[in-house]
Every structure is written in structure tokens, then in C-alpha cells.
Structure 1
Amino acid sequence: MSAPPLGTSTASAPSTAALDGWDTHVHIFDGAAQAQPGHYQPAHHPIDRIEAEAAGLGVGHLVLVQPSVYGTDNQLVLNALRASGGRHRGVVVVDGNVQAAALQAMHALGVRGVRFNLVSPVGNGQDALPRLSGLLRELGWHLQWYARPEQLGQIADVHQRTGLPCVLDHLAGLHTQLPARDAAWDALQRLAGAGAWVKLSGWYRLGDHAPYIRITEHIQRVATIAPGRLVWGSDWPHTAFDAAAMPAYRSVWTPVEDALGTSRAHEVLRAGARLYG
């Protein structure tokens, strides 16, 4: 049976039987852990809570992304990976002083990438990258970027120099107000040509709100630029929202089905197995 065209959706939902779906962008928080000042103060959001919500969508695998507020203290992520029995994966934040043995220990637990956050007021730049590049290449890790559209050209230069795989958070930052002929689209084309992956996530960070209709054309265009290298992330627990206004888990998945059609959207839901498995 052929896949439906872009923009064609059906009423079916992902099967919950196999739990073979991947949510590739979640954060976990310990309300008692020390957070960096100058940004949000996270509430308590343990991993068992997101595991329960994700199961309802047929998602059994999570990618735990180190949030900016914990800096390079990755213990929450590493402890959760250790307890997961290999089901989940992680992306960490490290500095240039990290030792090869520490990275290898993280790899054994399921870490597969290092994140650079160029947006958060307590984010991290790429100062550590020159020393890290060789170590990351040996491990087969990728660089994950949370960046603005105007930074995509710079990121493309980085990957041309290092040859490391690239993963772009939150639709590569391509917000709803971005002009159709903005240079960021050309930079994304260049990154995609080098094998970059894009996370379909963070709609509210891109200037849209439920039911996230304005982002549809951008999702479709990104799917054309980077076919077969799209993954989905819920961005749980949605730190841009108060707890009482947190979006329903399935509501941030629905825009992918609406934009790509059910068959292609379900391929995206399972694609994390190729990137992280």
C-alpha cells in the first residue's frame, strides 16, 4: 500500500502494543536538584511520569536531553539511563575537560550525543568542540544543536570541518514568521546534504499554539529537505508553560500526522531506532 501524500491524515493512532515509538526530546527534573540561576526553576518531573504518558502513544523509548539549567552535571540523565535497562538513550552537556573514560562510561549507559544550546540564557557554546571532536568521532556520537535560524550557516561550517553527525532541535528553529526565502532554508539544505537529522518538536517555541496549524507548511518543507531523517520529540515537560497549562502529550504529536499523513508520521515515530538505537 502506498503512503498517503503530504498533508493527508487519518483517524488511526499508533499502536500501543509494541511500544516501538521514540520520543527523542524529553527532559527530566528533580525538584531538589540545584539549578543554575538566571533561567527557570524546574518543578519535579521524574522519568516514570513521562514513561506513563508516552506509553499511551505507543512510545517505549525516550531520549533524555540534558536541560540547560543543570549545566554539565548530567547525573539525573545518567541515573535514569542506568535504571532503564537499555530502553532509553541520552544526550549530555560536557565541557572541554571531560575525559575519554567518562565519555565511554556514558556511552555504555546509552548516551549518543552532546548538546550545544545557543538559545538559553544559561546555554553552552561550542568552545569544547575542538578537543571533543576526535573523541566523539570514535564513539560515533552526534552533535545536537538548539539554535536560531540565523545560526544554521555557522553550524553547517562546523559540521563541514568536523565531519560529525548533526541533529537539529525544534525544527531547526524555523519559526512561523521566517520568510520562505530566508537564508536559513539554504543553510538547512546544506546541512541535510551532509546527513543532518531534524527533530519535529517545540511548536510553541516556534511561534505557534494549539492546535499548531501555522507550523504545518514548515514541517512539510523540512520533510522535503531532509526525507528519512526526521524524528519526533514531545519536549516534555514543556518548560515554557506553567504546570496547570501544560499541553496534552498527544497534542504535540498530532501536528506531525496532520502535516505528513499517518503512514509517514508513524515512520517518523519509529525513526529514533536508526538514529539512537
Structure 2
Amino acid sequence: MSARSAVSDAALERWDCHVHVFEAQAPVQAGHYQPADAPLQTLQSTASALGVNRLVLVQPSVYGHDHQVMLRALARAPGQHRGVAVLPPDISDTPWDELHAAGVRGTRFNLVSPVGHAGPPWADLARLAPGLRARGWHVQWYARAEDLPRLAQAQEETKLRFVLDHMAGLQAHHLHQEPLWQALAALASRGAWVKLSGWYRLGSVFPYTDLYPVALRVHQLFGRRCLWGSDWPHTSFAPGTAPTYADLVHPVQAALGETAMSPLWGANARSLYLDESSPYV
């Protein structure tokens, strides 16, 4: 691919950096929800209405370490999308390298969901750290705001790149809780990223105006390391009550200004999820 065409393709890209795909018949972890069918083709059709053509598929907690659903989705459009896995601490090189070849670029720790990580994650993180470093992978965290000080410590200890889900768990009532913001500033200063996603998971309801000051402050800290994600297909909602896809874009635009969306779902995302081995570079 020529330099000219690479620049042209980049200008046409829009990324949704946090989505999930589900197959209704796939086995799930006990003790959590039974997801409805939410295939990649439905998501691509939904996202394309807003010009979104690149996706980051995040392994849902209900599937544990079984990545077959995500891998099948990635294989439908080789090289176009990216994935985030949930790795067991004893994973061997062969399945790890297969995930990398499929487009996976990070592992996730879920400290919130009922079938998320069982117990403190720090020992497992330490076991995975050498392999993560060797492959240039990041560590994605679904955590509560109260976890931020410990995450800042872990990032300093491991020197890994951290990515914080859902506005780092910060809710409106956290706006003036300065110890949390100090921890977040430490994470940002050491190269962490944050996703402005999942606002309905933060004690708010559409149009989420109470979160605008939080989003603005987060954006001021992270700048070009802010990302946008829809959290499609919105598993915390009852059938028929989920927000529209556009409803997850408009609050970000309103909070940060119209021009902020361009780097959030363009250059910022590209710099995290693409590397020189991608056929799209």
C-alpha cells in the first residue's frame, strides 16, 4: 500500500473502541446473563450509519477464556478490526500467538461483573506481564473508581500500557474526590488510555448531562489518549430499552465540543490499535 493510499484510508476511518459480539448458542459462564444473538454483521450495519468502519471486539465476561465467538467474528473481516482477550495466567505461546495473528492486541481484567476476575488480579497480571511486553499488548481494566489508586501502583510496577474502560469508573459524585483524580493523573502521566464509553454504567441516564464535567476533566488529563466506544449491544438494558447507537455519540460531542470526536474515533484509536504489521497501514 502506498503512503498516499494509507493516508487516504486513515482519513476515512472511524473506530468504535468498545463493542461485544454474541452467539446465542455459545456456552456461557454460570451465574451471569444469557446473551441474545448479537453478530458482527448486525453491528457493522448499525455502526456504518455513523461512518464507523473499524471495531474493537472486547471479550465478554460471560465467555470466560473461550475466545471462539470473538475469533469467528474477527475472521469475517481479516485485518479490519481488533480484539481484546481475557487471558488465563497459564496461557502458552501457541494460543497467545494465534490470538495476536487474529488481531487481538490486549487482555482485559474485569473487576466489576459477577463472572469477572475471581479475586485480586495482581498475581495473574505479574505472570502475564512478560508475554504482554513481548507482544506490545495493553491491559484493559473494567474497574471502579475506587480501584484507581491500586491501578496506578500496578502500572508503575509493571510498566505496561493500561487502558481504562468506561471513563475509569468515575461517576458524577466523584468529580471533587481529589485522591481519585490524583490517581487518575498518575495513570495518565505514565501513558494510560481511557475510553469515554458506558456512561449508563456510571449511575447516569440519557442525556448524561451530570457526567459532562467528569468527561471534560478526564479529557483534559488524557488528551490524545482518549477513545470512544459504544459498548454495543448494551447488555445492562432489558430488550427493547437500549439506547440508539447515536445516543452514545451525542453526549460526548456535547460534553467536549463537536470537534473532539474526530480524534477520539480517528487518529487516537489508530495509534493504539494499529501497528506496522497491519495490512491497513
Q: TM-score, normalised by structure 1?
A: 0.91
Q: Letter of the 2:160 partner, please give it.
A: L
Contact 1:66 1:93 in 2 (8 A): yes
Matched with 2:277 is: none
In terms of fraction of residues, the more helix-rich structure is 2
What residue is the counterpart of 1:267 in the other structure? 263
User: Cα offset for 1:255?
Assistant: 0.9
AA aligned to 2:20 is: H
Q: Which consecutive segments of 4 or more residues in structure 1 shift more than 3 A? A: none
Q: Give the fraction of aligned pairs with identical amino acids, expressed as a percent.
A: 47
Aligned match for 1:62, one of 38, 48, 55: 55
Q: Where in structure 2 are the equivalents of 1:109-124 lying within 5 Å?
A: 109-124=102-117
Task: Give the CA deviation at 1:172.
Answer: 0.2
- Hey, what's the Cα distance between the residues in 2 that align with 1:265 and 1:149? 24
Quote the offset at 1:84 in angstroms.
1.2
DSSP-derived class of the 1:219 partner: helix
Matched to 1:275, the amino acid is: L
Distance in 2 (alpha carbons) for counterparts of 1:58 and 1:104: 31
What residue in structure 1 maps to residue 206 of structure 2? 210
Corresponding residue for residue 90 of structure 1: 83
Question: Is the contact between residue 35 and residue 69 of structure 1 (CA under 8 Å) also seen in structure 2?
Answer: yes
Q: Where does residue 20 of structure 1 map in the other structure?
A: 13
Question: Which structure 2 segments of 5+ residues have no match?
Answer: 1-10, 275-281
Moved more, 36-45 or 194-203: 36-45
Tell me if structure 2 keeps the 8 A contact 1:147–1:172.
yes
The answer to whether structure 1 residue 199 and structure 2 residue 192 are counterparts is no
Question: Taking structure 2 as the reference length, what is the TM-score of the superposition?
Answer: 0.90
Secondary structure, counterpart of 1:90 in structure 2: strand
1:179 positional shift: 4.2
User: Could you tell me how far apart the structure 1 residues matched to 2:212 and 2:22 are?
Assistant: 30
Are the equivalent residues in 1 in contact too, given 2:162–2:191 (CA < 8 A)? yes
After TM superposition, list the pairs within 5 Å mapping 1:1-277 onto structure 2. 19-124=12-117, 125-126=120-121, 127-270=123-266, 271-277=268-274
Alignment partners' CA distance in 1, 2:96 and 2:111: 22
Instruction: Output the CA distance in 1 between the equivalents of 2:30 and 2:178.
Output: 35
Q: Given the superposition, is the C-alpha separation of residues 179 and 20 from structure 1 closer, same or farther in structure 2, using an over 3 Å criterion?
A: closer
Query: Judging changes above 3 Å, is the alpha-carbon distance between structure 1 residues 50 and 19 closer, same or farther for their aligned structure 2 residues?
Result: farther
Where structure 1 has 5 or more consecutive residues not aligned to the other structure, the ranges are 1-17
Local SS of the residue matching 1:245? coil
User: 1:136 Cα deviation (Å)?
Assistant: 0.5
